[in-house]
């Protein structure tokens, strides 16, 4: 069982990804709700994350990550309507 620098035991990379995604989603929603960031700011962050992943990788984890970020962008933009 791997441990990260914080000392937490990491049993599943997928579990870590799910947890971070859930936290990110709630944090973005809260920051928008409180007027700290705008929808455009949140879109900028998510699109920057996509750019950071690159476009040429065909690994399943890369495909999953880009799909999830695109779903977050769609969800964010639905909230604007």
What's residue 31's pLDDT? Answer: 96
3-state secondary structure labels for all residues of 30-57: HHHHCCCCCHHHHHHHHHHHHHHHCCCC
Q: pTM for the whole thing?
A: 0.69
Structural domain boundaries in the chain? 15-78
pLDDT band for position 6 (cuts 50, 70, 90): low
- Flag whether pLDDT at 18 surpasses 90: no
pLDDT digits (tens, 9 = 90+) for 22-80: 898 899 999 999 999 999 999 999 999 888 887 766 677 778 888 888 888 898 888 66
């Amino acid at each position: 069982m791997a441990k990260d620098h914080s000392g937490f035991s990491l049993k599943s990379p997928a579990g870590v990804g799910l947890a971070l995604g859930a936290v990110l989603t709630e944090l973005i929603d809260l920051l928008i709700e409180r007027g700290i960031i705008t929808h455009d700011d949140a879109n900028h962050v998510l699109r920057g994350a996509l750019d950071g992943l690159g476009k040429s990788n065909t690994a399943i984890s890369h495909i999953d990550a880009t799909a999830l970020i695109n779903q977050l962008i769609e969800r964010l933009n639905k909230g604007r309507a």
